Amino acid sequence: GVSPNGGGSANGILINEGTIQSEGDAIYLNAGSNRSTGILRAIDGARLVFERPVDNSNNTLRLEGEGTIALRNTIIGGTVIVAETAILKPSGGSTRLDGVVMDGDLSVNDADLFVMNGLTLNGELTVGGPEGQGRVWFDGTQTLAGNGTVILNAQANENVTGLLIRNDGDTLTIGENMTVRGRKGYLGVSPNGGGSTDSAIVNRGVVQLSFGAINSRFTNAGLFRVGGNDEAHIQINSEFLQESSGVLEIGLGPSGLHDRLTISSMATLNGTLKIVQSSQFSPSSGDEFLVLTFATLSGAFTEIIGNNQGSVTLNLDYRTNGLSLVAQ
């Protein structure tokens, strides 16, 4: 492609029909546009770096090896297969996936990734980590589809890592076979500014977080699991609506520990509340667990799972600004 010291055509097209293999250091694909119907491989800890857009429309881009495939521009369309132990990793501020099917693993830490026209994920997307904050921005109303897993890995001292919505009025739908999980992360508006102040998230898959926040209107039509460690606390800084197909799972533990969901605005309840207790804990008569707080309430859960806890029953006590489980 273009010489990093000048020279070469900035409008040229590189087409790979064979194998390009980076060994030990790095190979930079720096043509005006890149396309590969062959194999791109990084081995021995080497890097393969996309400096310019990749036109992958109606094509399959195959990335192999045990090194890092660094993306500094846009992949447009098609399917991306990440094989062996290779990892595709955004690098730089203009990294985009535009209508891509991702079959393999993707890591976003100390970087921003912009998604347009939907993403089908059939691998594992890790967002954030010890290397730095990770932010995946969804630009436009779209669906995160596929049968993959997103792992939100925000560190204890930061509060930016997550799946973020960029524009006012946009909706991000988490598809029915998708899982978004992690100990800490954020969905919707960035808590440090940026992103839409009028956006929505619809969960049709699985969302499981222990700590963090959802900063957009949140509709649960799938499984919303608060924590899993009996002391999780998730805050929804907007409205919460659970549809008839939705399941909200809350955990109870010993020494007064229990999961909590705080909703800053209206909670509209329907569907199922699932109560899960720690294997080392059984509630006693008179125990109370304030599991939901909200500004206002509409509706109620239509099915309760797990409220019969040994010799006691956990009854739902709907109050003005909260829901408590009372053991009797």
Question: pLDDT tens digits for 146-170?
Answer: 999 999 998 877 778 999 998 889 9
> In terms of C-beta density within 10 A (0-12 exposed, 13-18 middle, 19 or more buried), how is residue 306 classed?
middle
Distance in angstroms (rounded) separating the CA atoms of residues 86 and 61: 13
Distance in angstroms (rounded) separating the CA atoms of residues 225 and 251: 9
Distance in angstroms (rounded) separating the CA atoms of residues 170 and 154: 24
> Which pTM does this prediction carry?
0.92
Q: Could you tell me the pLDDT band of residue 120, with boundaries at 50, 70 and 90?
A: very high
For tokens 């709907």, what's the residue?
318
- Cβ-count burial 16-55 (b if 16+ within 10 Å, e if not): eeeebbbeeeebbbbbebbbbeebbbbbeebbbbbbbbbb
68 has pLDDT over 90 = no
325 has pLDDT over 90 = yes
- The length of the chain in residues reads 328
What is the rounded average pLDDT of the residues 248-254?
89
Tell me the average pLDDT of the chain: 90
195 has pLDDT over 70 = no
More confident residue, 169 or 220: 220
Please give the angle made by the CA atoms of 174, 87 and 183, to the nearest 5 degrees. Answer: 50
DSSP-derived letter for residue 271 is: S
pLDDT at 255: 66
Q: Minimum mean pLDDT among 118-127, 208-217, 235-244: which range?
A: 208-217
More confident residue, 158 or 189: 189
250 has pLDDT over 90 = yes
In three-state secondary structure terms, 120 is strand
Q: Could you tell me the pLDDT band of residue 176, with boundaries at 50, 70 and 90?
A: very high
Q: Which pair of tokens denotes residue 93? A: 């501020």
> In terms of C-beta density within 10 A (0-12 exposed, 13-18 middle, 19 or more buried), how is residue 158 classed?
middle
5 has pLDDT over 60 = no
pLDDT at 8: 56
pLDDT at 194: 55
User: How many other CB atoms are found less than 10 A from the CB of residue 278?
Assistant: 14
The residues near 7 (Cβ < 8 Å, ≥ 6 apart) are none
Question: pLDDT tens digits for 72-94?
Answer: 999 999 999 999 888 899 987 77
pLDDT at 91: 86
Distance in angstroms (rounded) separating the CA atoms of residues 324 and 49: 54
Per the CB < 8 A criterion, the answer to whether 227 and 252 are in contact is no
Question: In Å, how far from its chain's centre is CA 312?
Answer: 37
Q: Could you tell me the pLDDT band of residue 311, with boundaries at 50, 70 and 90?
A: confident
171 to 66, 122, 124, 247: CA distances (angstroms): 36, 21, 22, 21
Q: Could you tell me the pLDDT band of residue 288, with boundaries at 50, 70 and 90?
A: very high
User: How many other CB atoms are found less than 10 A from the CB of residue 193?
Assistant: 7
User: How many other CB atoms are found less than 10 A from the CB of residue 233?
Assistant: 16
4 has pLDDT over 80 = no
What is the rounded average pLDDT of the residues 261-284?
91
188 has pLDDT over 70 = yes
Amino acid at 125: L
pLDDT at 57: 95
6 has pLDDT over 60 = no
Q: Which pair of tokens denotes residue 33? A: 């546009």
pLDDT at 197: 59
**What dihedral do alpha carbons 127, 121, 85, 50 form, nearest 10°?**
-80
Question: pLDDT tens digits for 223-245?
Answer: 999 986 657 899 999 999 999 99
29 has pLDDT over 70 = yes
1 has pLDDT over 90 = no
Q: Which pair of tokens denotes residue 169? A: 């009025």
